[in-house]
Structure formats: structure tokens, C-alpha cells
A and B are shown apart, each in its own frame.
Chain A
Amino acid sequence: MITWKGLLVGLRRPMAIVCLTFLGCLAAAALLAPWIAPHDPYDQNLTNVLSGPSSQHWLGTDELGRDILSRLLYGAKLSLLSGVECIVVAVVLGVTAGVLAGFFGGRVMWVCDRIADLLLATPMIIILLTVLAVFGPNMHAAMTTLGIMLSADFMRLSRGSTLAVREALYVDAALVFGLSRPRIIVRHIVPNVLGPVIVRASTLFGAALFIEAGLSFIGLGARPPKPTWGTMVAEAGNAIYTQPWYLVPTGGIIILTVLASNLFGDALLDASVGRVPARRRNERRLKEELVRREAAHAVRVVAPTAPDAVVVTSLVRARNLEVSFPADGGWQPVVTDVSFDVPRRGALGVVGESGSGKTVSMLALLGLVPPPGRVTAGQIVFDGNELDPADQGSFHRLRGSEVGYVAQEPMVSLDPVFTVGDQIREPMRRRGGMSAAASRERALELLHLVGMPDPRRVAASFPHELSGGMAQRVSIALALGLEPKLLVADEPTTALDVTVQAEILDLFRSLQEQLEMSMIVVTHDLGVLADFCDTAVVMYAGEVVEQGRVEDVLSAPAMPYTAGLLGSNPYSATPMGRLPAIPGTVPLPSAWPTGCRFQARCDRATELCSRGPIPLTEVSDLWQARCIRIGERAAHD
């Protein structure tokens, strides 16, 4: 929705200011033409016809030796007035009808809609020709008619925004307070409707200028010798063999005027929907900083911190991953020093609140950090092969064939315009090199495997024809196409009904056994973690705060944050009591404190927590936590 505020922001854009200034100067020049034009527009000089630009005639002379600049200035008045006339008629009629139709709905809307349909289907040019034939060369009649026909456009536009505002609660509230309807329309609805109307009007102003100039061009406008832009282009056309220059000023003025009005509309639109022009100056600085950062981290990558015993048994080993996004001319890390291992044929659970960096870490593993973000440090070893996380391309071979991915929202994670079968088959055919028949067979097998009762029917359906649970099963089938060794599931049950959640978890469990895969499950549901996973990684504010075997971590959390998450489990709430929760929210990356990032929300924080970075500390074998009080705890035991 385009708001007043957005429009005001747009008006301050340099592009909008330039365009408006140009149109303003042109309008002023048109009005002041009798005083500022260097020559009389009708003054002929047959000894100096069709000359190019000279000091006497800046833009040259036409076929009767008249000054082109002066004629353009006089013609501007007619052209601009025609455009304004047409747009005023269209806006007044269209907005009135649209607001009334949107506000009252029912029969009023029906009638307005039918009239708009009729106007939009009528061959506009024929009606204009008829009107011009009837009223003679009279642009007022033609432009008024054009305005009436264009009003359909404004009618639809303002009806749409009125309906949107009408649905808003404050209009109902105003009715309840007893404000009269006309007052509500003027106070609340019209201001909301005008934004999009102004943007559209600036585009249609250009279109109206074209039509006026086009009609004059074919000789249906003002009669010669009266100057109009369209007739001057036609004269230039006649002189095309002798003086092509004449085309330049005549076309140029039309192009500049229409361009200014189009760019003005674009600038308003961009500003009001919050589009920001790309800042190119920053790019080089960002690249330089990136190089520096990568160099600084190179040392760390060489020395992995995990004991070698883990390397043998784990399918994936991620070390010291850091993901950053450009911000304020530098790189802002959003995930730092993330290391984890995925056991072969085991399941790793990644837990944490929203904003803790779970999803970003998984995308780093897949080589899919959304640009302009990137992995700025770290190392990933997959099945014995080392990958460079900064080189996204090296992950391409991995995706699909070695790693499958199931996203959070099943309904939006399938392409709406291809059938389910098409989408499941695509990786098999392109990556796996299967024949059409084999891939079709395999797709049906997979759909059967994920528990679809009628695979053939489902394969021929489009995503919108499926329920959420079915769509998630389809997503899983899609991820399993090339028998990956690892399945990454990003909150695979969050968007589903509770009963369906249990079914999907059962499916994962049986798939993992049948296919002997490893899995990473990202979740904020500790029940999923306890039920399903072997090892756990707890993340907070972009770093790993605790990791270890699930039974260790859940039974005696070493980090107060993990304890807080456990305490927030709604199932442990007492009836009628408040739902337990950790007070406060996850800090944004730009607001990370030095030292422990959880300190502000921690009830056991001491001043030592803010002294400096806190390392992951061994709690016991294969169990680490990032808390300063771990030693204390051990002493306590």
C-alpha cells in the first residue's frame, strides 16, 4: 500500500525533485511563452527555411522559416493542458466512482464494475476519431473523452484501496462513534486512496500526452498554422529528406516531458514501497574487508579443535563456521565459531529460540547462505572430503545427491506451477541421469515410501491441492530422490498440526532406519530433540552454547540458557499458572555484548560474564558448554 508518508519520502528523492523541477519549468515557460519566446511563432521567413541550429534560431527553423524554439514553447501550453485536462477528468470521475463503489459495495460496486468493463473493452481510438470527426479539430472534446475512458483505470485502483481501508477496524470504530459517512470518506478513505492514484496519474499523464501528440500528428488536432508538438513532428516528417535535424527538437521535447513524468511516478513508487537504490560505493570497501577477515581466520581453520576420534565416526564435521552480512560499510557476523559433528546413521538436533542462528548455520552447511551474506570463516568436512565454505560452488555436487533438505513451511517450499511428480523427478533426471521411465517409477516408489496412499494421483497434483501434512511428505520424498547420506530438516514439524507432527516424526524415524541416513533436525521443540536425536547442539545469539549427548544435555544442562529452555516447556506448566518463559529476547547481532551473549537474561550472571569471550569448555567426555560457571559446578558436585 502506498501511503502519504511514502509519497512524502518519494518527493524528497533527487530523481523526483529533478523531474518535478523540469515539468515546473516547462509549465512556466509555456505560460510565459509570449514574453520569453525569442521570435513570433507565426513569423515566416522564406529565405531561411529548414535551417539547422544557429545563434539566431537556437533550434533552427521550419519549412516556412519560423523559429522552432518559439513554436515549441507556444505548443507546450496546448500539450500540457491537454494532458492535465485528461487526467483531471479521469481522476475526478474514477476516484469518486471507485471510493463510492468500495465504500458502499453491493449494487453500486456492480454498476461501477460493469461500466468499467465496458470502457476498457471499447476501442478507444475509434471513439476518439469519432469524437474528433464530430466536434472538428477540438482537442478539449477528445481529451475529455479520453479522460472518461481512462477513469475506469482509476476507478479500479481506488476501489481496491477503499476496500482495503474499509476492512480496517478504525473505519468501523469511526462508524460506531457516529461520524457521518461523508466525513469518514473524506477523513479516512480519500487520503489512503490518493497515494496509488498519484503514482498512476503521473504515468497516464505521459500516455495522454502521447495520444494528444499522435492525434495532432495525423492532422486531427489544432489547425495550422497553430503550433502543437504533434503537428511539428508531422512537419519534421515531411522534411525528412532535406533536414533530418528538425526531428531532434520536436521529438526531444516530447520524450523529455514524458520521461520526466514516468520517472517521477517511478521515484514515488519506489520510495513508498521502500526500495532503496543500490549503494555501489560500499561494494569495494566490503570486498576489502572480506579479504582481511578471511586472512585473519585462515590460521584458525588449520587447527581444528575436535579430537580425531570424532572424525572417524562422524559424517559431517563443521568447525568454527562464521557467517556475515554486510552492514554499515562492514561485515556484521550473525553466526560465529559454530562447530558440530553429525554422527553416521545418527541424528543431530539443533535447538534454540528464533534468531539464534540455527537456520543460517544449516544454510552454511548447504552452501546456500542467501547473498549478500557469506561464510567468512570455518571449515566443513563431509564424508572425509574437505570443502571450502567460502566457495559456494563446491557445495553444488553435494546438494541433492549427498544431502537432502526439508524446509519449514511445506506449502511454500514447493513450486506452485509444476506438478509434485515433476518436482520429485527433476533432481533424479538431471543429477542422477535417470531415464524418464525410471524416474517416474522411482518417484512413485518414494511417494509410497513417505506414506502416500495413492502415489499416482499425488504425483499428478499441484502443491495447492495438497494439505500441509501431505505437502511435507512430498518435500521429504523430493529430498530423498538421490538417496542422500544426510537429510537436513529445518523445523520440519513447526508449521503442522500436532497430530500430523507426530506422524511426520514417525516417518523420519522409520526412514532413517530403512535408508541408514544421518539427520540434522533443526527445532525449537525439546520434545522432538528428546524423542528423536542422539546428540544436541544448543545455539544462542549466533553461537553454540552447549553440545553433547541428548540424555546428558537434557537431564543436567550445564548452561543456564539450556536450563531456561527446558523450564519453558509448556508441558511442565502448572494449571492456571503462568507459562514459564525466559524473560527478555535474543539480542540482535549488532547488539551482542562482550563476553557471554546470554548474560542480560541469565539469573546466575556475575560481572565476570562480561569480561571477555567465553570459550566452549569441556563438561565431561563429548559434552561442552559455553559458561563461566562450569568449573564451579564440577566443584559443587
Chain B
Amino acid sequence: MTMSDLRSGRKSGPNSLGGIAVIGRLVLQRLLAAVPLVWAIMTLTFFLLRLTPGDPVVQILGDRASGAQYDAMRTELGFDRPMLSQYFSFLGYLIQGDVGSSLFSSRSATDVVLDRLPATLSLAIGATILSVIGGVAVGVFAALRKGRDGTAVQVGAVVGQSIPDFWLGLVLISVFAVNLKLLPANGYVSIDESPGGWMKSLILPVFTLGLAAMGSVARMTRAAMVEALDRDFIRTLRANGVSDRSIAFRHALKNAAIPVTTLVGVRFIGMLGSAVIIEQVFALPGIGSLAVSAASTHDYPVMQALVLYLTLLVVVVNLIIDVIYSWLNPKVRVA
């Protein structure tokens, strides 16, 4: 056998070093691709916000302000200038990472958003961890024990996905806070203040947000495990003495983790949206309540800052998922 047997054009040999270089290139590629994306989304929201009726100046001054006061405020905020000129100065500041100040508190819109991010991120990350650990455990269990247990997991997962999260939150409050008095019904304790309190304040919201995702992770894990266990290499490994336990938890699970990773990324991004509503249920000071109030008062800079940071968050999450994906699946490392 000669080296010509190694297919030409394909990477071969130890890939610990090659792997890092490939991942570095992936990160760079994705960040560059994010630039036009962020520009397009910011432009879209800029015009969506400005071209539609509703006037923030009225909101700031109230109904009783005089015409002169109104004009002065408009000039101060730059709303009297032509739309395109407003847009280009907006872009100019955006390149420097500045989306302006909140129209109501005169604080930087970035700071306003960043203040609210920890609560939302704690919620979404906690729910993701719950859904991955719980969903994978249940899915693997169901895949290994076919028959009745597998069917029960399938049915449970579909029912779990059909429960509206805001309603589930209320039920959990009613049971664990109102009746059993085990956990706070609402409110948020920052982690610097009291790590224990922070945990307690998040248990119910995390469970509320994570349950549906847990169901879909369990279903996907089960399906992917069943498929992996059916593949030819499982028979070869088993015939050559690899134990059933290693077949299930090392070989089948790592193969099954590939589609599950993609799903977890999609679910995390979805959770950022659902968090807006869950934060209302549990009175958490996250970006959700900020978004609702900023939208109703037409606080353009805060809205733009929200869109910017959420988009960046989506880009970063997708990137993390891609890195995990390429670690799990050696075939894509070649690209």
C-alpha cells in the first residue's frame, strides 16, 4: 500500500494542531460574515422604527408641551434632519460601537441593555443546561429501552412541547410558591448580592423556560440514538468485543450528539425570545421587560441597542455551536 492511497486533497494525520487552526479560521470567517448581517438588521430596524407612526418627542414631553418646546426637543434629538442624514450619522456612531443614549434616562443605551443582560442570560443559559442534561438523559434512556418506555417518552415530549411556557410558570408559582411556599413567586436576586438567593430566584423560571426544550432535546436524542445504533459500525465494534455500555454511551451517543447540538443552538436562540414573556411572569429585570417598555415609548436608541446585542448574541451562539459541531464531527473539519 502506498501513500497515494490517502485520498488527495484531504487532510490527514494528527489533527490536534490542524484542528485548532481550522477552528480559528472558522471563528474568523463567521465574525466577518456577521458584519453585513448586523448592518442589514440594524438598517432594517432603523427604518422600521422611523418610518412608522408614533413620536417619541410626544412621549418625552407629554401632551401639554408647547409647539416651541416640541420643536426644540426635535432639533436637540436630531429628528428634524432628513431621514438619510440621520441614518448615516447613526451608521457612523454604530461603527464606533455607539447606538446613542436612551431618550428618557440620558444613560447610554448600551449600558441600559447591559444592565439587564445578566438576568436574561442566567435564565436562558440555565434553561439550556437543564434541557441538555434532562433531555439527553431521557432520550438515551428511551432509545435503549424500546417499547413502552420509549413510547412514554415520545408522548411526554409532545405534551411538554404543547404547554405554553407562561402558563406553566403560573402553575409552578401556584404550586411551589403559593401552596408549598418553597420558592419565591417572583423577583430576582443578583448573583453578587447572594448566590443562594440568585439560585432560588431562578429555579422556577429556568424550569418554566427549559421544559419544552427538554422535550424536544429528548425526542431528538432518542431518534438520533436509535438511528446510530442501527448503523453498520455498531455491529463491527460489538463483534470485536466492545461492550454494550461503550457501544451506547461512547459510540452511539457521540454520533447522536451531532444533530442534537444543532437543535440546542436553535432552542437557545428561541429561548431568548420566550424569555421576554417569562420575565413578565416572574418579574425578572431582564431585557424582556426593557424591550416591552422601550417599544411602547418609542425609545429608538434602546431598541436599536437591544437588536444589536441580541443579534450579536445569536452570532456568538451559532459560532459556539459550529465549534462544538466540528469537534464532534470530524468530517466537517476538512472544510
Contacts and interface: CB of A to CB of B under 8 A. Distances in A.
A binds B: yes
Interface of A: 117-118, 121-127, 129-135, 206, 210, 213-215, 217-218, 220, 233, 236-237, 240-241, 244, 247, 250-251, 254-255, 258-259, 262-263, 266, 278, 280, 366, 368, 370, 396, 399-401, 403-407, 409, 412-418, 423, 426-427, 430-431, 451-454, 457, 460-462, 464-467, 469-470, 473, 475, 478-479, 481-482, 488, 503
Interface of B: 1-3, 5-7, 10-15, 37, 40-41, 44-45, 48-49, 52-54, 146-148, 151, 158-159, 161-168, 170-171, 173-174, 178, 231-233, 235-243, 246, 250-251, 254-255, 258, 272-274, 276-277, 280-281, 288, 291-292, 295-296, 298, 303, 306-307, 310-311, 314-315, 328-331
Given A129-B292, A417-B254, A426-B250, 6 more contacts: A206-B162, A213-B164, A233-B164, A405-B240, A409-B232, A464-B330
Contact of B1 (A133, A218, A452, A488): A452
A465 B3 CA distance: 12
Main secondary structure of the interface of A (DSSP, over half): helix
Nearest to B173: A240
A467 B5 contact: yes
B204 to A, nearest CB: 13
B1 A503 contact: yes
Contact of A259 (B2, B54, B162): B162
Contacts of A454: 3
A426 B254 contact: no
Nearest to B167: A251
B229 to A, nearest CB: 11
Given A123-B314, A125-B276, A465 B239 contact: no
A123 B311 contact: yes
Contact of B6 (A236, A406, A418, A466): A466
Contacts of A236: 170
B219 to A, nearest CB: 10
B292 A218 contact: yes
Nearest to B297: A133
Contact of A404 (B11, B240, B331): B240
A262 B219 CA distance: 13
A130 B315 contact: no
A106 B244 CA distance: 49
The interface residues of chain B, by DSSP majority, are classed as helix
A262 B216 CA distance: 12
A405 B236 CA distance: 7
17 contacts: A121-B311, A214-B277, A215-B277, A233-B166, A400-B241, A405-B235, A407-B239, A413-B232, A413-B236, A417-B255, A460-B15, A466-B6, A466-B7, A467-B7, A478-B240, A482-B241, A503-B1
Contact of B236 (A258, A396, A478): A478
B239 A366 contact: yes
Contacts of B158: 259, 262-263, 266
A411 to B, nearest CB: 9
A124 B306 CA distance: 12
Top 10 nearest A-B pairs (CB, nearest first) are A400-B241, A405-B239, A123-B310, A133-B295, A259-B162, A125-B273, A251-B167, A134-B52, A129-B295, A413-B236
A465 B13 CA distance: 9
Contact of B164 (A130, A251, A403): A251
Given A423-B237, A464-B330, A258 B13 contact: no
A278 B12 contact: no
Contacts of B1: 451-453, 469-470, 473, 503
A280 B53 CA distance: 62
Nearest to A471: B5
A378 to B, nearest CB: 19
Contact of B233 (A117, A123, A250, A416): A416
Nearest to B239: A405
B238 A130 contact: no
A430 B242 contact: yes
Contacts of B246: 426, 430
Contacts of A121: 37, 41, 311, 314-315
A261 to B, nearest CB: 8
Contacts of B232: 407, 409, 412-413
Contacts of A129: 276, 291-292, 295
Contacts of B331: 416, 462, 464
A461 B276 CA distance: 46
A83 to B, nearest CB: 13
Contacts of B13: 457, 460-461
A117 B12 CA distance: 33
A262 B37 contact: no
A266 B298 CA distance: 42
A391 to B, nearest CB: 15
Given A416-B330, A417-B328, A233 B235 contact: no
B167 A254 contact: yes
Given A118-B40, A404-B240, A415-B237, A218 B311 contact: no
